[in-house]
Amino acid sequence: MSERPYNMLFLCTGNSARSILAESIVNHLGKGRFNGFSAGSQPKGEVHPYALDLLASLHLPIDGLRSKSWDEFAVAGAPSMDFIVTVCDNAAGEVCPIWPGQPMKAHWGLPDPAAVQGTEAERRAAFQHAFAALESRIKLFLDQTPSSAAAA
């Protein structure tokens, strides 16, 4: 058996903020042990500019980030997921596609920073809070997970 990195899929309804942040964090901290992906049940079609600004300011990967449907990960030929994490309460309550390989599932509900009203500083602060919460959870998760997954 060969070894491969674990694949983590983060789901949110719009796939424009929280799940995008999580994807980038995993791809940065995973260091070849984990691959991060994100998707939404009703993707907005674009990544929120504050999410991209925050990630870029922290020198985290933003290349290739896009708002996409979770259907892309439920078809033949899609990457096989080991872990699926919902990051919004709406996505957690929706009927999800059947994921091949029976991945482990978790729910890390966080407030939507894109829904925050107020000044630009308050809205950007909401993204920073979401990022900090996701980064903390992801670091703990990665520290508790063995080195690699066996390839199918």
The Cα 19–Cα 86 span in angstroms is: 8
Predicted model pTM: 0.89
Sequence-separated (6 or more) residues with CB below 8 Å from residue 102: none
What's residue 149's pLDDT? 54
Domain that holds residue 11: 3-150
Contact 143, 31 (CB under 8 A): no
Give me the catalytic one of 12, 17, 87, 149.
12
User: 58, 96, 125, 133: which one is catalytic?
Assistant: 96
What is the pLDDT at residue 94? 57
Active site residue 96: yes
88 counts as catalytic: yes
| Rounded Cα distance, 16 and 44, in Å | 6
Tell me how many degrees the CA angle 147-148-152 measures, rounded to the nearest 5: 165
| pLDDT value of residue 151 | 42
Retrieve residue 113's tokens.
Answer: 């920073």
Q: What is the CATH number of the domain that holds 144?
A: 3.40.50.2300
- Each residue's pLDDT, cut to its tens digit, for the chain (152 residues) gives 348 899 999 999 999 999 999 999 999 999 889 999 999 989 999 999 999 999 999 999 899 999 999 999 888 888 999 999 999 876 555 556 666 677 899 999 999 999 999 999 999 999 999 999 999 999 999 998 776 554 44
* Residue in 21, 60, 88, 91 annotated catalytic: 88
- Number of domains making up the chain: 1
Q: What is the CA radius of gyration of the chain?
A: 15
- pLDDT for 1 equals 39
